[in-house]
Amino acid sequence: MANPVNPSNPVEKPLLATLEGRQQKRPPIWIMRQAGRYLPEYREVRSLSKNFIEFCYSPDLATEATLQPIRRFGFDAAILFSDILVVPDALGQNVSFVENEGPRLPPLVIAKNLSELHGNIDLQRLNPVFETIGRVKEALPKETTFLGFCGAPWTVASYMIAGKGTPEQAPIRLVAYRHPAYLEQLIDRLVVSSISYLCGQVEAGVDALQIFESFAGALTADGVEQWSIRPIKRIIDGVRLRYPGTKFIVFGRGSGVNHLKYASLTGADAVAIDWSTDPAWAVEVLQPIKPVQGNLDPLAVVAGGAQLDQKADAIIEAFSKGPHIFNLGHGIVPETPLAHVEQLVKRVRG
Ligand code: 1CP
């Protein structure tokens, strides 16, 4: 499926071209959570806002945070600075973040059958996010792909049900067994809301979208299609109904062999894989179907040194026969030394 590199036709946005199945000489690179606490300039702007969700809704600050990693490292993609939890927030479930602990929401009450949520997502509340997109777009180098994103319904619903992050997502898994009709309704609300939110992002100017199913690993083999694959497919189809040809990357973290379902059944243009996935397997099974994104262990970047170069080389070599986007297998961690990120980018660029 991969078209060969055509050097007489220089590509304006290498990452977008890769999503179209056009392999590049070197893989384009970006890093999940590339705007974040490992950057001193992020910590500085972050300190200007007490409340993380208000930070996400401040176009000045969110624009600056989005651009910082591009300025410093020249990544091939910028990812909108926001959070997956702005969707529940705009559905009327107030989100806050506790320093060093994480998100907090008033947990949904199953007996209320979603009456505590708005029927439709409040796009007005998300206007500052769309404004951020417009500002970032104007400031980005023309070769940089601009990624918008949302969380997949199962992952977002896990926070809405528990009111916080939970080990192995036990609360939502229990709801899936005890109250499947309720969960269907919640997932449906999130599908429709995510379509509106992502269409808003496309209108405002992003080039492509990533859907984060961070808790794919909590799903059983028979649950993954119902709770994750089909809702994601509905979102992708729904956005493309309004904006045909919109490019999607889908990331089913921890989904093991189910990465194949994300590649072949969701309609996404590329599949992101976590660090536990064997590149040899992904090259054989996934890459013939879709471009692959990944999958260096974030802690290999913390450790640095010669092993970092070796691990990066091995991933690039493994995926070298088809379209590949270099990334980590999950978000970069705050302890990562900047020099190690510089080393990685240099190595990947060759
Ligand atoms: O104060 C801070 O700086 C808080 C840290 C932080 C940051 C930098 C949070 C809170 N969110 C973000 C930004 C963010 N979140 C981005 C844009 C920045 C970038 O990627 O460069 C994105 C794409 C997200 C997505 C996100 N938020 C996911 C999916 C990706 C993943 O990491 O699996 C999830 C699960 C969240 C929830 C969330 N938001 C923040 C935290 C600490 C968490 C995780 C909480 C938990 O562990 O349950």
Ligand 1 site, residue 102, Cβ cutoff 6 A: yes
Q: Kindly state if the Cβ of 165 falls inside 6 Å of ligand 1.
A: yes
Q: Ligand 1 within 6 A of 35 CB?
A: yes
Within 10 A of 54 (CB to CB), how many other CB atoms are there?
A: 13
Task: Assess contact for 185 and 114: CB atoms under 8 A.
Answer: yes
Determine whether the shortest distance from the Cβ of 119 to ligand 1 is under 6 A.
no
pLDDT, tens digit, 9 for 90 and up, residues 12-23:
899 999 999 999
What's the pLDDT score for residue 100?
Answer: 87
* Closest-CA residue to 81 (of 15, 37, 121, 40): 37
pLDDT for 11 equals 57
For ligand 1, is residue 61 a contact (CB within 6 Å)? Answer: no
- Report d(CA 171, CA 159) in Å as an integer: 9
- Closest atom of ligand 1 to CA, residue 69: 21
* Cα–Cα distance, 191 to 197 (Å, whole number): 10
> Helix 170-178 to helix 180-204 angle, to the nearest 10 degrees?
120
CA 8 to ligand 1 centroid distance, Å: 40
CA 104 to centroid of chain Cα atoms:
20
Q: What's the structural domain count of the chain?
A: 1
Cα 99 to averaged position of ligand 1 atoms, centre (Å): 13
The residue segments making up the domain with residue 243 are 3-349
Residue 161 host element (H or E):
helix 153-162
Enumerate the active-site residues.
33, 37, 46, 83, 159
Model confidence pLDDT, tens digit, residues 24-80: 999 999 999 999 999 999 999 999 998 999 999 999 999 999 999 999 999 999 999
The pLDDT of residue 9 is 36
Pocket flag, ligand 1, residue 26 (CB < 6 Å): no
Ligand 1 atom closest to Cα of residue 165: 48
User: Which helix (H) or strand (E) segment is 308 a member of?
Assistant: helix 306-318
> Residue 273's domain is classified under what CATH number?
3.20.20.210
Regarding the beta carbon of 83 and ligand 1, being less than 6 Å apart is answered yes
pLDDT digits (tens, 9 = 90+) for 246-267: 999 999 999 999 999 999 999 9
Looking at the DSSP assignment, which residues form a beta bridge with residue 341? none
* Residue 24: both structure tokens together: 């590049």
Peptide bond into 295 cis (omega under 30): yes
What atom of ligand 1 comes closest to residue 331's alpha carbon?
32
The number of helices, as runs of H, and strands, as runs of E, in the chain is 16, 9
pTM: 0.95
Question: Which residues in the chain show pLDDT less than 70?
Answer: 1-11
CA distance 243 to 247: 10
Q: What is the pLDDT of residue 312?
A: 98
* CA 258/CA 251 separation, integer angstroms: 11
For a mutational test of ligand 1's pocket, the pick from 38, 45, 84, i.e. the residue with the most ligand atoms closer than 8 A to its C-beta, is: 84
Shortest CA distance to 214 belongs to which of 264, 172, 180, 267?
172
Nearest CA to ligand 1 atom 10: 102
